[in-house]
Chains A and B, each alone.
Chain A
Amino acid sequence: MSDVAERAQKVLVLFAHPAQNRSEVNVHLAEAAHQLDHVTLIDLYGEYPRLDIDIDLEQARLREHDVIIFLHPLYWYSTPAILKEWQDLVLEYGFAYGKGGTALEGKTFFSAVTTGGSAEAYRDNGYNRFTIRELLQPLEQTANLCGMTYLAPLVLFGARSAKEHGRVSGHVALFRRLLEALVAEKLPLIEAAKAETLNVVLQKHGMG
């Protein structure tokens, strides 16, 4: 057991949801992450309700973890505001990039998002015109500049009707298995980096 603990990867989940009393999926994903060993869950809106992000604390958290995940609903093809603020403040020159900015090198990064639109909408012939992976390219390049391995996103499409269609618990379980695989270093990273979504990778390896 101690052998496993030594090899365990540490996962940081940065959770951003501004109206958690209205959330139907994300709060359950956060709760699942919160319960796992070797996984740290940070509720950014809970910790910084006035958006006054503590840069030193956040950088220390990044140093202590191997995998960094943004967990949030997709807002205008991007993160909720606080995660953008977090990027702007925490990913400093000399820390995350630029001269001496090597603190994040070799770490793994990806987003776990829920979308209002269905899977069909995120295609070149859908009304969103781009795939989810394409739309998240700014984050991909951010990770790239910081020397991190970027993985495809984990996505729950059509999240506004997931509760009614009974798809929530399945997605929460999928997220839990993904986190466990990351901790145990059992996720095929090269494949995960190339895929369209992590959902597909997990499916293929019998974790879906």
Chain B
Amino acid sequence: MEGFLVQATLYLFAAVVAVPIANRLGMGSVLGYLIAGVAISPILGAFGTDPEDILHFAEFGVVLMLFLIGLELEPRQLWGMRHRLLGLGGLQIAVSTILIALAAYWIGRIWAIEELAHWTVALAIGLTLALSSTAIVLQTLGEKGLTRSDGGRASFSVLLSQDIAVIPMLALIPLLAIPELIAEVSHGAEVGHGGKQEMELRLLDGQPGWVATLAVIASVAGIVIGGQYLTRPMFRFLSHARLPEIFTAAALLLVIGIALLMTVVGLSPALGTFLAGVVLANSEYKHELEADIEPFKGLLLGLFFITVGAGINFVLLFEDFFAILGLTLGLMLVKGAVLYGLAKLFKLRGAAGWLFTLSLAQAGEFGFVLLSFTMQNGVIPTELGSSLSLMVALSMLFTPGLFIFYERVIAKRIDANLPEEDEIGETGPVIIAGLGRFGQIVNRMLLSNGHKTVVLDYHNELIAGLRHFGVEGYFGDPSRPELLLAAGIRDAQVLVVALDDQEKSVQMVEHVTREYPHVKIVARAHDRQHTYALYAAGARDIVRETFDSSVRAGRYALEKLGHHPFQAERAARAYVKLDRHNLAELARLWDPEISVMENERYAAKAREINARLEESMRGLRTEYHDRTERGWTPPPKGGAVKD
């Protein structure tokens, strides 16, 4: 227990110190985490803990991240990416693998390193190092707002194809085994090292091939069909319980369960959860799931980066400093050159091509996985494997620097000359919080004028019913900041707060005006007091829910009393103007801290307004009259038109 607390304290402390500083310096959170890891590695060493143990746990952050990415990607979009996945991704993997393998083989020959000069070893190294880091790249792209740019999309396609390619690689690698090494490894495993591997359930080991294939197909089908048909009733049932933590537990259960299933049948857990995410991308629970999973993903991913940083073996590094550094840079150069060529081939122009080249030049976390796998299977000797692990970690450490280089130098220089054709993202959506009678009308109006709306409400039946009519509605408590974030508040242009709950709507307005000042808010108010509270919270476009309809009723009554319709219309307009003017005056004086009774300035103004109204009702004041008549009052009788 103590050991756990020490570790947790150490990791969290390092992250809390390093990440904000790195962010402030414009280096991005990933570099902050990596540096934090480097900084704590000697202390960890003193406690005798191995960061690798935590790495396996932290890799789950990548699994969660792919689930979230899947949620954002509808099946239709995925299908639309198929050419890029196969072409761009496939070529990147194939060409990089071959070039790296050749280089490894050549280096083995020249430097007379016996292990390297073996084509199986060289090929295994090529496969391992051809992969890039999904975690670093996607996290950084997201942070810098480049996910939807052309270069960002291309990078994502390649990362996704790499994740898929890991599966055949895991199948291929055991075939490359060197007999002498296998004997050595199996001997070693018996002696001691291997505590982790028994934990993995490998039910399918020793089964005939067709059973394994069948299991794989069944699991994938299970995810697709279960995701489509079982999750909805399950989440509906859970949401009735109104226990947010149970919903979170269910979301985690879903992801962890799928990861387990994938591991059992020998597929990549990241790929399985990605698939589940895609299946759920159309679900009304999408944003609630995102809001629940996001914090876990963030923390685990951070932990993952820290362990990568902590895993850098400095003793090993300094033994062969220049060789390892040179090889790492050489590796990134080769990968970058391949990427650059592909960018040209696939017509990624200008900054997009450079982003693609620089972002994917590192080796990635799957490199660690494959390396440990190759070592276990006796493909690559352990000593060589450690050096390669070091190269992977170093290349990851360099990557944030490349992003900074892209941002500060290339994007500035190139985009100045190029017309912005691909970087224009979708226009920000309108988020409508609360879909009762009020929100529905707002939603229909916006939709019929061609705006994209995202609708949030915590009434299951309502959301389900409206989705039936094609409304993009999501289940969840709209006042939850995480849900707003998942619904896209960062990119939103307008937020319509149409909640029934008065207190929640005030909190929501406060939160959004503070955190996202660029979002314009339209708020629904219950009554005057609520209007004041919303005004104090920062809303300026406040609509009293019954005000306009009452004015209309008043106008109809005037018409029925024989007033000319246009006169009734002018009377209504004048009333609205006067009432809103008075309300705004009072709202400015209203203070949430003081009750209306104790607020002297408010009380004085209210008395003044009341007196004014009374006088005008008794015909003592003409300003109300003037408002309706001015402009259409004929010139005075006998008045001169010209002096």
Contact = CB atoms under 8 A, between A and B. Distances in A.
Interface string B557-575: 0000000111111000000
Contact of B642 (A21, A127, A161): A127
A19 interface: yes
Interface in B539-573: 564-569
Interface centre among A21, A46, A49, A50 (most CB of B within 10 A): A49
Contacts of B567: 19-21
B48 interface: no
B347 interface: no
Interface in B588-643: 629, 632-635, 637-638, 641-642
A18 B642 CA distance: 24
B566 A49 contact: yes
A7 interface: no
Contact of A20 (B564, B629, B635): B564
A41 B569 CA distance: 21
Contacts, number: 43
Contact of A22 (B632, B638, B642): B632
B390 to A, nearest CB: 74
A30 B503 CA distance: 56
Interface centre among A19, A45, A50, A161 (most CB of B within 10 A): A19
B1 to A, nearest CB: 73
A22 B566 contact: no
A146 B564 CA distance: 32
Contacts of A121: 641
A185 B629 CA distance: 41
A124 interface: no
| Residues of B contacting A: mostly | loop
B635 A46 contact: no
Name the interface size band of chain B.
Answer: 10 to 19
A208 interface: no
Interface in B333-382: none
A46 B637 contact: no
A176 interface: no
Nearest to A50: B569
A161 B636 CA distance: 10
A49 B637 contact: no
A45 B635 contact: no
A75 to B, nearest CB: 9
A164 interface: yes
B566 A46 contact: yes
A49 B641 contact: no
A117 interface: yes
Given A160-B634, A164-B637, A46 B642 contact: no
5 contacts: A19-B632, A19-B634, A117-B641, A121-B641, A127-B641
Interface of B: 564-569, 629, 632-635, 637-638, 641-642
5 A-B pairs with the lowest CB-CB distances in the bound complex, closest first: A19-B632, A49-B569, A45-B566, A49-B565, A49-B566
